[in-house]
Amino acid sequence: MADCPTALISLSRRLGDPSRNLVLLAEGNTSCSDGNGFWVKASGCQLQEIESQDFVYCDAEILLEALDQELSDSEVRDVLLGSRLEEGGRPSVEAFMHAWLLSLPGVEFVGHVHPVAALAVLCRDGAEGLCRLRYFPDEVVCCGPATAWVPYVDPGLALARAVRQSVSAFVAEFGEAPKVVWLENHGVIGLGRTPGEAESAVLMNDKACRVIASGTGKLRPLTAETVERIRSRPDEHYRQELLFRLQQGRT
């Protein structure tokens, strides 16, 4: 029997910490891949107090096949239950989305949350236009040069398909997976090679959203040239690694 990685448990608890205002009740879900299957939060569990038995070990291929099939609600439930490689709870309905994101090169941890600060931006007109703006250097370092945008759709299979479409377009344009995905009127996804990367992306995005939502004057983003310079500077890459290692040291 495979063990749920402790790094995923501690990432989940940190994202669920009530003082961070990233989720309420059973909101949000997390996952990580181990090369064979992947671990994803079971439906209905709270991130804040999650335990290893609250994760389900699943076969990504079974879930990925469903992305191209027309399925009824009961068939979707059957696919979710049938994807389990071991006994356990029912995988979160967002397991389809997690399976696809974890198939991307460089993505091994995924954290999806509903932050108050991000929703203050994502529930307003014009949020999509902010995806390509960056306001401070650490935002470029932790969240990448831009954010992938997903228009509102129902959770579950429809959302997984919409995420696939949006993130595939992002990868085609930028040559790498996004670190942050915005879901209109819904929430945020942080992606990373490590739990620290995924967490840094969520937290720095949250800081950026507070800056966007709180300003009274006209916001002045970094220029595209500055963003590109920060993105390509060797010392920024060093700083990025350092931030990630600091995060990992806490796991």
Provide the minimum distance between the beta carbon of 186 and Zn ion in the complex, in angstroms, as a whole number. 6
Any idea which residue has 């205002």 for tokens? 21
Provide the minimum distance between the beta carbon of 154 and Zn ion in the complex, in angstroms, as a whole number. 11
Question: Footprint of Zn ion on residues 30-59 (CB under 5 A)?
Answer: none
Task: Rank residues 40 and 141 by Cβ distance to Zn ion and give the closer one.
Answer: 40
Structure tokens at 109: 């941890």
Provide the minimum distance between the beta carbon of 187 and Zn ion in the complex, in angstroms, as a whole number. 5
Provide the minimum distance between the beta carbon of 95 and Zn ion in the complex, in angstroms, as a whole number. 12
Rounded to a whole number, what is the distance in angstroms from the first to the last CA of the chain? 23
Task: Rank residues 93 and 212 by Cβ distance to Zn ion and give the closer one.
Answer: 93
Provide the minimum distance between the beta carbon of 202 and Zn ion in the complex, in angstroms, as a whole number. 13
Q: Pattern 78-117, binding to Zn ion, x per CB under 5 A?
A: ----------------------------------------
Task: Rank residues 79 and 110 by Cβ distance to Zn ion and give the closer one.
Answer: 110
Residue 16 binds to Zn ion (criterion: CB under 5 A): no
Task: Rank residues 187 and 195 by Cβ distance to Zn ion and give the closer one.
Answer: 187
Residue type at position 30: T
Task: Rank residues 189 and 230 by Cβ distance to Zn ion and give the closer one.
Answer: 189
Q: With CB under 5 A, what is the number of residues at the site for Zn ion?
A: 1
Task: Rank residues 14 and 134 by Cβ distance to Zn ion and give the closer one.
Answer: 14
Provide the minimum distance between the beta carbon of 9 and Zn ion in the complex, in angstroms, as a whole number. 19
Provide the minimum distance between the beta carbon of 206 and Zn ion in the complex, in angstroms, as a whole number. 15
Task: Rank residues 89 and 137 by Cβ distance to Zn ion and give the closer one.
Answer: 89
Which residue is at the shortest CB distance from Zn ion? 187
SS (HEC) of the chain: CCCCCHHHHHHHHHHHCHHHCCCCCCCCEEEEECCCCEEEEECCCCHHHCCHHHEEEECHHHHHHHCCCCCCHHHHHHHHHHCECCCCCCECCCHHHHHHHCCCCCCCEEEEECCHHHHHHHCCCCHHHHCCCCCCHHHHHHHCCCCEEECCCCCCHHHHHHHHHHHHHHHHHHCCCCCEEEECCCEEEEEECCHHHHHHHHHHHHHHHHHHHHCCCCCCCCCHHHHHHHHHCHHHHHHHHHHHHHHHHCC
Question: Footprint of Zn ion on residues 180-209 (CB under 5 A)?
Answer: 187
- The neighbouring-strand residues paired with 187 are 183
Residues in touch with Zn ion (CB under 5 A): 187
